[in-house]
Amino acid sequence: MRNLRRISIVLCISILGIAASCHKPGTEATPFDKASLLTNFSDNLIAPSLWMLEQTVNNMDSEFANFQANPTQANLESVRAAWKDAYLTWQTVKPFDFGPMKSYGFKAATGTYPSDTAKIEANISAGSYTLASASNIDAIGFHSLDFLLHRVNALSYFVGNANYMTYTADVIAKLKSETTTIVAAWTAYAPTFKQSTGTETTSAFSELVNEFNRDYEIVKVAKLGIPIGKQSLGIQMPEYLEARNSAISFELLRQNVLALKLYYNGNAFSTENEGVGFDDYLNHLDRKPLHETINANFDAILAKIDSFSGSMEANMSTNPQALDELYTLMQGQVISLKTDMTSAFGVLITYQDNDGD
C-alpha cells in the first residue's frame, strides 16, 4: 500500500509537470509587461520616425520651391536628394499601418507603386485633377515623384511645361499636408495605443504584430519577388520595380529590412538604443533560440543585399541567381516571424496574402 501511494504521488507530480509545460501559446506564468513594449514603440520608434518623415518631406517641399523659382539642373539634383532622403525615411514609417495611418489611408496614398505614368501624363495634360480621389492612388506619392523627377530629360519637362511643374508641386504639397496630419493624429492616439495590450484582433498589440509581419511580406513580395518573377512563373517584370527611374530599389529594400530588424529588437529610431521589443517577449517566453534565429536571419538578408553592386534591374539580367538566393533568405524568415513568433505571442494573423505562404 505504501508503494502504491508513492507511485500515485509520482504520477500526480508528472501530470502536473506536463500540464505546466504544455501551456497555451501566449500565456505565461508571469505576464510579460506589454505596456512597456507598446510605450517604447510609441515614444521611441513610431513618433520619432513620423517626426523625421515630416522633417524630410518639409525639406523636399522647400527644395522644390527653390527649384520652381530657379529651375536649374543643380537645383533639380537638390530636389532629388531631398526626395530620396524622405523616401528612405518612409521605409521606417510604413510598418505602422494601424491607428491613424490606417484610418487616413496614409500608406496607400504615400507608397503605392508602380505608378501609372499614363495617368500622371493625362492629369498633367488636363491641368485639372483631384489627387485625393481613389482613381489617382497610383498617380501620387513618393513613387510618382520617382517618375516626375528622374525620367530622361526631366529638366526639360519642368522648364517647358508649366502644368508639369504645377502637378509635381501639388503631389509634394499633398504629401506634406497628409504627413503633418498623421503626426498630429499619432500624438492624440498614442495614449490609447500604449494601453491596448490584449491579444484580441482589435488590440493595438495585435495590430502591431500583424502589421510588422504584413510589412515584411510586402517587402519580400513587392520589392523583390514580383520584379524577379516569383509570382509570374519565372518571367521577370522590371516594370514593377520600386523606384525604377532613380534605380534606388536596393537602397529602399535595405532600409525597410533594417527598420524591421531594429523594430523587432525594440531599438530606438534615432539612437538605436535598446528598448523593449519582440525579442524581449520571446526571451520572457523562454524562446531565446527563436529570437536568435530571427536576428541571424535579418543579418543574413542584410549581408546579402549589401553584396550586390549596381541597380536591381541590372542584376536581374547579370545576377539573377543571387537575387533568387536573396528571395529564399527572405522567404525563410516568414516562418520564424509569421508562424513561430506570433504563435508564441498568442496573436492571430488577420491579414490576407496571396503568395502561397
Please check whether residue 353 lies inside any domain of the structure: no
The confidence score (pLDDT) of residue 30 equals: 87
| Residue that wins the pLDDT comparison between 24 and 8 | 24
Phi, psi of 218 (to 5 degrees): -65, -40
Joined grid coordinates for residue 123: 492629369
The confidence score (pLDDT) of residue 356 equals: 41
Q: State how far the alpha carbon of 21 is from the alpha carbons of 16, 73, 117, in Å.
A: 9, 67, 58
Q: Please enumerate in sequence order all residues whose Cβ is within 8 A of that of 341, keeping only pairs 6 or more positions apart, or say none.
A: 209, 278, 282, 290, 294
Q: Answer whether 282's CB lies under 8 Å from 37's CB.
A: no
Please check whether residue 356 lies inside any domain of the structure: no
Q: What domain range is 87 assigned to? A: 30-345
Please check whether residue 120 lies inside any domain of the structure: yes
Mean pLDDT of 170-186: 98
The confidence score (pLDDT) of residue 353 equals: 62
Question: Does position 154 have pLDDT exceeding 50, yes or no?
Answer: yes
Q: Other CB atoms closer than 10 Å to residue 136's CB: what's the count?
A: 21
Mean pLDDT of 107-122: 97
Highest-confidence segment of 259-263, 272-276, 353-357:
259-263
The confidence score (pLDDT) of residue 26 equals: 46
Q: Answer whether 224's CB lies under 8 Å from 327's CB.
A: yes
Mean pLDDT of 113-133: 97
- Please state the domain count of the chain: 1
Q: Answer whether 280's CB lies under 8 Å from 266's CB.
A: yes
Please check whether residue 257 lies inside any domain of the structure: yes
Question: Does position 6 have pLDDT exceeding 60, yes or no?
Answer: no
Domain containing residue 289: CATH number:
1.20.1420.20
Question: Does position 343 have pLDDT exceeding 70, yes or no?
Answer: yes
Please check whether residue 315 lies inside any domain of the structure: yes
> Helix crossing, 47-69 with 162-195: angle to 10°?
170
Query: What residue type is 329 in one-letter code?
Result: L
Mean pLDDT of 263-270: 94
The confidence score (pLDDT) of residue 243 equals: 98
DSSP string, 47-106: HHHHHHHHHHHHHHHHHHHHHHHS--HHHHHHHHHHHHHHHHHHHHHTT--STHHHHTTH
Show the CA angle centred on residue 200, arms to residues 199 and 202, nearest 5°: 115
Question: Does position 199 have pLDDT exceeding 60, yes or no?
Answer: yes
Question: Does position 21 have pLDDT exceeding 90, yes or no?
Answer: no
Please check whether residue 14 lies inside any domain of the structure: no
What is the pLDDT of the chain when averaged over all its residues?
92
Question: Does position 357 have pLDDT exceeding 80, yes or no?
Answer: no
Question: Does position 25 have pLDDT exceeding 70, yes or no?
Answer: no
pLDDT band at 352 (very low <50, low <70, confident <90, very high): confident
List pLDDT tens digits, range 278-318: 999 999 999 999 999 999 999 999 999 999 999 999 999 99
Is the peptide bond preceding residue 191 cis, with omega within 30 degrees of 0?
no
What pTM was estimated for this model as a whole?
A: 0.91
The confidence score (pLDDT) of residue 266 equals: 97
List pLDDT tens digits, range 238-258: 999 999 999 999 999 999 999
Q: What whole-number distance in Å separates Cα of residue 9 and Cα of residue 236?
A: 66
Mean pLDDT of 165-193: 98
